[in-house]
Amino acid sequence: AQSVSQHNHHVILSEAASLELGCNYSYGGTVNLFWYVQYPGQHLQLLLKYFSGDPLVKGIKGFEAEFIKSKFSFNLRKPSVQWSDTAEYFCAVITISSGSARQLTFGSGTQLTVLP
């Protein structure tokens, strides 16, 4: 079964700092990759996704992520964070195989705190 690792459990940054959150998955086949964000007290919202094509994908609110197949990674980046980016971020993977339900496997999440 596939697994998703988010190595940073809690990241604390000052406003305007650059952000990179790590995500690694364990599956050798075709994958669809997602980053979700959960603001305090809210539900998960889709930040960005990668299915195929350009491995650098851009999402909402200035976020981007790069798929590096050789490293099984899909790291999330933002050049300059804002206080409003304080949230929990989840990486998720769907493995693409015939005949199976497309179930997401989530990482355990990274709590980002941005200090004003």
Partner 1 sequence: IAGITQAPTSQILAAGRRMTLRCTQDMRHNAMYWYRQDLGLGLRLIHYSNTAGTTGKGEVPDGYSVSRANTDDFPLTLASAVPSQTSVYFCASSDLSGTQYFGPGTRLTVL
Of 12-20, 42-50, 68-76, 77-85, which segment contacts partner 1 by CB under 8 A? Answer: 42-50
Closest contact distance (angstroms) between CB of 55 and partner 1 is 17
Q: Are 74 and 65 in contact (CB under 8 A)?
A: yes
**Three-class SS state of 7:** coil
* Binding test (CB under 8 A) with partner 1, winner from 32, 72, 77, 86: 32
Q: Does residue number 2 form part of the binding site for partner 1 (CB under 8 A)? A: no
Q: What are the tokens at 76?
A: 């999330």
Look up tokens 């949230």; give the residue. 87
Amino acid found at 40: P
Residue closer to partner 1 (CB basis): 17 or 88: 88
Phi, psi of 61 (to 5 degrees): 60, 30
Q: Does residue number 44 form part of the binding site for partner 1 (CB under 8 A)? A: yes
CA dist., res. 116 & res. 44, Å (int): 24
Closest contact distance (angstroms) between CB of 93 and partner 1 is 10
Interface residues toward partner 1, by CB under 8 A: 9, 32, 34, 36, 42-46, 49, 51, 90, 92, 94, 101-104, 106-109
